[in-house]
Amino acid sequence: MKELRDREVIHSLLKTIAQKTAALPTLPIRLMEVCGTHTMSIHRHGLRPLLLEAGVEMLSGPGCPVCITPDAYHEAAIKLVSSTPNIILATFGDMTRVPTRLGSLQTVVPASGSEVKIVYSPAESVTLAKANP
C-alpha cells in the first residue's frame, strides 16, 4: 500500500479522523493494539503522537499469541505432534509458521494418525475436540 507511505494521504486521513473524533463526547478515544508487530510499526512511523493529536490514544496491549508465546511452547507442540500417535493439535494458522530450532508446526512430520489442524477460534477447538474424543 504505497499510498499509506504518502505524507499527504496520511495527513488527509488524520484530518478525517480528527473531524470524526471531535464529535465524540470524550476524548481521546482509546484503542488497544494487541500485536507487537503493529505496535512497532506505529512507533517506527511516528503515528502515535499524530493519532493522539487527532483524538486517538493508542495503548499497547498484551500482544498476540505469536508475539508472546515462548519458543519452548512452540517446540513442545512440535515434539508432541511428531512423537505422539493419534492426536490432533489445534492451533491458529499464524502459529504454524513460527520458526524454532526444531522447525515449525508447518514443516513437522506428524506421528502416525496425528495431525495439525488450523482453527479460527477457541470455540472451533472445542467443537473439534468433541468430534474427536
Give the C-alpha distances (Å, rounded to integers) separating 9 from 5, 13, 46, 54, 76: 8, 6, 15, 15, 46
Q: What is the pLDDT of residue 36?
A: 76
For residues 16 and 43, state if they share a domain: yes
Mean per-residue pLDDT, 25-53: 88
pLDDT band at 1 (very low <50, low <70, confident <90, very high): low
- Residue 31: what residue type? L
How confident is the model over 86-96, as pLDDT tens digits? 999 999 998 99
Q: What is the pLDDT of residue 7?
A: 87
Residue 74: Cβ-neighbour burial (10 angstroms; 0-12, 13-18, 19+): buried
Return the H-helix or E-strand segment holding 22. helix 7-22
What are 80's three cell numbers? 508432541
Supply the CATH number for residue 101's domain.
3.40.50.11740
**Number of folded domains in the chain?**
2
How confident is the model over 51-66, as pLDDT tens digits? 999 999 999 887 777 8
Q: What is the pLDDT of residue 45?
A: 87
* pLDDT exceeds cutoff 80 at 67: no
Mean per-residue pLDDT, 71-97: 94
Q: What percent of the chain has pLDDT over 90?
A: 68
Name the residue range of residue 54's domain: 2-64
**85 close to 112: Cβ distance less than 8 angstroms:** yes
d(CA 91, CA 89): 6
- Residue 16: what residue type? T
Supply the CATH number for residue 29's domain.
3.40.50.11750
d(CA 8, CA 16): 12
For residues 59 and 76, state if they share a domain: no
**87 close to 80: Cβ distance less than 8 angstroms:** yes
Closest CA to 82 of 117, 115, 111, 118: 111
